[in-house]
Every structure is written in structure tokens, then in C-alpha cells.
Amino acid sequence: MDELFKKLSEDIRFQEGLSACINCRTCTAICPAAQFYNYDPRIIADTLQHHDEQELDALLKSDQIWMCGECLSCKTRCPRNNVPGYLIQALRALSIETGLFVNSEKGRQQLAIKRTVGEHILAYGYCVHIDEIDTVMYPEQGPVWDWMRKNRVQVLNRLGAKYNQSTAGTLRKIPEESLNDLKKIFEVTGANERFNQIEEYSEKKAADLGIQFDSGKDNDYFRYVYSNEKNNI
């Protein structure tokens, strides 16, 4: 068995996600992502059952595997018990492990997701936190948001939120003990290793492109993958 398929076949999500696709397109018909993107879960399942190393390599380098929302609507509909959503999870993991994710636009954006959502979870206990949302990164928020963010303590108190307070309620400060538990979960599940792989291969890609790479969000490669605007670097 070729190297990539050998690694993929060891993933329990691949083992449970692929039985025998009959190309009925039921998964595609129910898939929300297929309605909006150039994405077809049937093609994912059908391609993988070919066990073709070159086709797998192309998938791991493609934008397609990053378009699935992992809603698992496909799981409830497939007459042969295939789960394209599981296959996508396995493909994404392998793409990051091998560094092939940097070959596609959506793949490279994993660095932006890691440095925003991923790091916010570990720092605050929230996927998105008001302290990190500004109109430089989120211009669609508009100028009103600048005022809102500047006056967030007063505004959020009036709305009944418990912003950064050590009590129950919306936007409360997550206790350090709970944050430490989150960090342990990330460690034992391999999420930290995944984050490290994203950083490592992204830095190599930046070097190949001749783009400045550094930690945080204030560097050229982050702006490049976040906005995909070459004029910003």
C-alpha cells in the first residue's frame, strides 16, 4: 500500500467513513456546502475508494477538503452507511500532518484559524472574544463597532452581560482552572501537535514565497493567508 493511503487507512474516521460508495449522490443532495461551493461529498467518497495515491495526493493539496462544514447531514442519508464528513476529517488531519495543506488557499488559511479561534479558546475559553475583534481584521463590523469596542464595559453592563467578571453570565471570565482543563484536552487529543504542524509548515511556505513570517497577526504571511490580498504584503 502506498504511503499516503497507509497513513489514511490507520485513521478510525476513514475506517468508519467509507463502506462502498454507489454514486447515488444522496449525500450531495443533502449537503449544505455543495449548494454554495464547488464541493461534492460523493466525489470525495468515490475518489477514496479508488485507492489511487495520486488522486489522494491531489485531494490533500486541494481546497475541496476545507469546504465541508462537518454538519454530518451525509451520515443520516447514505444508504450504504458512508460518512463523507468523517472522510473529510481524516483528510484534513493527514493534509496537516504531511504539510500538503499549504498548497491550497483554503489550506493555508488554517494558520489564520489557528491564530484566531484556536488561540482564543486557550486564552479566553471562547472561540471569539470581543477584546480580539477590531475593524482592522473585521472591517465588515463598520465604524460603529470601533465605538462599541472602546465603550464595551459600559455597553455590555447595560445589556446585562458579565464581561470579564468572575461570576455566571454572558462573557464572564472563564476560571483559570477551566482554562487549564482546556489546555490539557488540547494536549491529550493531539490538538497542540496539530497547531505546531500548522505553524511549522506555514513558516516553510512563507520562506518559499519570500514572505515575512512571525508569531501573532502583525506579519506579512498572516495578512496574506487571512485576506489573500497580495497587495497587503
Condensed to tens digits (0 to 9), the pLDDT of residues 139-148 reads 888 899 999 9
Q: In this structure, are 144 and 192 located in the same domain? A: yes
Among residues 106, 138, 159, which one ends one of the domains? 106
How far is Cα 185 from Cα 181, in angstroms, rounded to an integer? 6
List the grid coordinates of 6: 497507509
Torsion of CA 83, 85, 86, 87, to 10 degrees: 90
- Contact between 125 and 178 (Cβ < 8 Å): yes
Buried b (16+ CB within 10 A) or exposed e, 79-102: eeebbbbbbbbbbbbbbbbbbbbb
Among residues 89, 106, 123, which one ends one of the domains? 106
Q: What is the pLDDT of residue 233?
A: 45
Q: In this structure, are 97 and 129 located in the same domain? A: no
Q: What is the pTM of this model?
A: 0.91
How far is Cα 226 from Cα 14, in angstroms, rounded to an integer? 30
Q: In this structure, are 149 and 93 located in the same domain? A: no
Q: In this structure, are 118 and 177 located in the same domain? A: yes
Q: In this structure, are 112 and 171 located in the same domain? A: yes
Q: In this structure, are 149 and 60 located in the same domain? A: no
Domain that holds residue 85: 3-106
Q: In this structure, are 150 and 56 located in the same domain? A: no
Number of domains in the chain: 2
How far is Cα 24 from Cα 63, in angstroms, rounded to an integer? 23
Tell me the pLDDT tens digit for each residue of 124-137.
999 999 999 888 88
Q: In this structure, are 185 and 201 located in the same domain? A: yes
**The 3-state secondary structure of 80-104, one letter per residue:** CCCCHHHHHHHHHHHHHHHCHHHHC
